[in-house]
Amino acid sequence: MAAIPRLAAAATEARGLLYPFGEARPEDGGISEVADGVFWVRMPLPFSLDHINLWVLDGQDHWVIVDTGVQTPDIAGFWRALFAGPLAGKPVGRLIVTHYHPDHIGLAGWLSRKAQVPLETSRGEFLLARTLTLDVAPEPPAEALAFYRAHGWAEPWLERLRASGWGQFGRGVSRLPTGFRRLADGDQLLIGGRCWQVLVGAGHSPEHVCLWNREEGLLLAGDQVLPRITSNVSVYPTEPEANPLADWLASIEKLRQVPDRTLVLPAHNEPFTRLHARLDQLDRDHRLKLARLLDGLAEPRHAAECFGALFGRPIGEGEIQMATGEAVAHLRWLEAAGAAERIEADGRIRFRRAA
């Protein structure tokens, strides 16, 4: 097994955060060491967000993989090259997934079968991933169409949704194992002589797993904390009355137990420190969005009429579904807080500022 190079670069600062490695990163499919026994793998994504950071931990006599990348032939090929090269000489002994999104769980089934190890994740993430891979149909269900119509979609948008079919989640996810090993909040995982505590967050996904090594100041954060972008927080037709933004804001507060100096290893962008500054930014960003949204609710509005107030920029055709989910999430938070009220008529839902 060849030595894996340590990532080295001059630190940079931006928007109150410190990036110890600057903009240095592994090449696509490459691997670099960022701390003793902690390795950064970078994989491409076929989306507008063009990369994901995956992590490999040294378990002494085996490797522990954290997240897998989306299911594509290219990414499977990168994994094969890693197993034949830098990771040769030791088997994969554990496979951990932070949450159910395809860029994180996409190749988990394939890797689980290849390595003959169970998939480890939280119960909510596994069950939702299994459900979505099985939920495939030629057309969207009536409930989904009704959800988007209720929140202001025009007929051309609904027609495009009908034409796209239903169940695209499974296209980016290999066949998942029948069973899994559950990770729960507070669990302690012993990996290579280190203790990693499971911290479960919510809002971006139901039970997002983060791994925190308190002693050495390391946090594998997945999508729960990203340095340069804000994780999507949305309401979906699968749970139309959810309040995920309340879960997200509560998770921000929960993560303040992790010391500010911790090296955060996120799923996108670069590793960083000054965690609490980033938590402040994320909290402030959503509070400002809520304030702008409430200002625009003097007259009743559909979620689809709130994009300008929420995002401050035009929303492209490919972003409408995600933007609607985010808008509904913020409107639901305002409603639950008593700041806005819902008006339902003719299968449509509008929100206005509460009296």
Other residues' Cβ atoms within 10 Å of the Cβ of residue 45? 19
- Residue 234 has phi, psi (to 5 degrees) of -135, 155
Helices in the chain by DSSP H: which ranges?
73-84, 102-105, 108-115, 123-134, 142-150, 155-163, 244-254, 275-295, 307-311, 320-336
pLDDT of residue 179: 96
Token reading at 328: 């509904």
Residue with tokens 């308190």: 214
Q: Give the residues of the chain that fall short of pLDDT 70.
A: 1-2
pTM: 0.96
pLDDT of residue 106: 98
User: Are 227 and 264 within 8 A, CB to CB?
Assistant: yes
DSSP 345: E
pLDDT of residue 285: 96
Per residue in 30-48, pLDDT tens? 999 999 999 999 999 998 8
To the question of domain 12-276 being in CATH 3.60.15.10, the answer is yes
Strand, coil or helix: 178: coil
Distance CA 327, CA 303 (A): 5
pLDDT of residue 316: 87
- Residue 210 has phi, psi (to 5 degrees) of -110, 150
pLDDT of residue 317: 84
The sign one gets for the Cα dihedral 235, 223, 172, 58 is negative
Residue 222's nearest CA partner among 234, 214, 233, 211 is 211
pLDDT of residue 2: 65
Token reading at 30: 């490459």
CA distances from 214 to 95, 117, 220 (A): 21, 26, 11
Per residue in 203-247, pLDDT tens? 999 999 999 999 999 999 999 999 999 999 999 999 999 999 999
Distance CA 242, CA 80 (A): 40
Angle CA 13–19–23, to nearest 5: 100
DSSP 243: -
pLDDT of residue 1: 57
Residue 66's nearest CA partner among 192, 179, 228 is 192
Strand, coil or helix: 301: strand
Amino acid at 172: G
Residue 289's nearest CA partner among 319, 313, 318, 312 is 312
